[in-house]
């Protein structure tokens, strides 16, 4: 296998484009080479097999859809949480290709046991990081609150990024504020002694569901 890191990333990004455009069945070495603008046969030198290519695409999507750590360095509050999710929504919208490719990976995982196992591990770990971050950062609500918010925002993102006209009469950022307000409640008080300094917070927070749509700090597969 070749080890040129920049070429590998370019090929994986091309694979993500193919996944979003043609679905998992359209993901071939030739299609990746053509999308990357490299000689036919190049991808075969970088990926052992199709499963390897799918796995690399999954990892790369999470990197692309994850949040900028700078956006996590604010005092915890309901307002901050709403602002963070709105920022992550914009991140997903700007990289809609990555998000759609992630959905294709999820569908393909239902047909490929190996991919299902690896994707499940990644998504489960991502979710755990989001739940832990919610509590460690002193954000409003408990663990169950964070889980419900994660799931609610995840569903909202699927609708917004796949069938946007369903919600065309509902401003997406207002919907996010409504979801957070109803899940978190009116109280955003936190105990200052329970707050984790920003510098100690894990940067994993806010990763998109991986496979993940964004949830309480996520964005949200994410990983205008």
pLDDT digits (tens, 9 = 90+) for 21-36: 999 999 999 999 999 9
Residue 79 pLDDT > 80, yes or no?
yes
For CATH 1.10.357.10, the residue range(s) in the chain are: 68-200
Alpha-helical runs (H) found in the chain: 5-22, 29-36, 50-65, 78-94, 96-109, 113-136, 143-162, 172-184
> Mean of the per-residue pLDDT values for the chain?
82
Quote the CA–CA distance of 26 and 20 in Å, as a whole number.
10
Q: Which CATH architecture best describes the domain 68-200?
A: Orthogonal Bundle (1.10)
At residue 2, the pLDDT reads 66
Range of lowest pLDDT (107-111, 131-135, 152-156, 200-204):
200-204
Q: Is 211's pLDDT higher than 70?
A: no
pLDDT digits (tens, 9 = 90+) for 32-55: 999 999 999 999 999 999 989 999
Q: How confident is the model at residue 102 (pLDDT cuts 50, 70, 90)?
A: very high
CATH class of 5-48: mainly alpha
Domain with CATH 1.10.10.60 in the chain: 5-48
- Residue 75, pLDDT score: 78
198: CB partners within 8 A, 6+ apart: 72, 73, 74
Q: How confident is the model at residue 170 (pLDDT cuts 50, 70, 90)?
A: confident
Mean pLDDT for the stretch of residues 3-13: 93
Confidence (pTM)? 0.76
Which of 67-76, 108-117, 155-164 shows the lowest mean pLDDT across its residues?
Answer: 67-76
């Amino acid at each position: 296998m070749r080890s040129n890191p920049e070429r590998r990333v370019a090929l994986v990004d091309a694979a993500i484009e193919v996944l979003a455009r043609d679905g998992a069945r359209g993901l071939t070495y030739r299609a990746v080479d053509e999308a990357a603008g490299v000689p036919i046969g190049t991808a075969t030198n970088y990926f052992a097999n199709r499963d390897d290519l799918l796995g690399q695409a999954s990892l790369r999507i999470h990197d692309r859809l994850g949040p900028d750590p700078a956006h996590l360095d604010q005092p915890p509050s309901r307002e901050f949480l709403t602002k963070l999710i709105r920022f992550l929504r914009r991140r997903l919208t700007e990289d809609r290709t990555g998000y759609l490719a992630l959905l294709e990976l999820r569908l393909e995982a239902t047909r490929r046991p190996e991919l299902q196992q690896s994707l499940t591990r990644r998504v489960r770990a991502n979710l755990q990081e989001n739940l832990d971050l919610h509590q460690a950062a002193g954000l409003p609500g408990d663990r169950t609150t964070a889980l419900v918010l994660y799931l609610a925002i995840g569903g909202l993102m699927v609708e917004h990024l796949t069938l946007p006209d369903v919600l065309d009469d509902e401003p997406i950022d207002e919907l996010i504020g409504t979801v957070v307000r109803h899940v978190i409640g009116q109280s955003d008080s936190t105990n200052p002694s329970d707050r984790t300094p920003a510098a100690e917070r894990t940067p994993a927070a806010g990763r998109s569901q991986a496979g993940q749509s964004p949830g309480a700090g996520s964005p949200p597969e994410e990983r205008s």
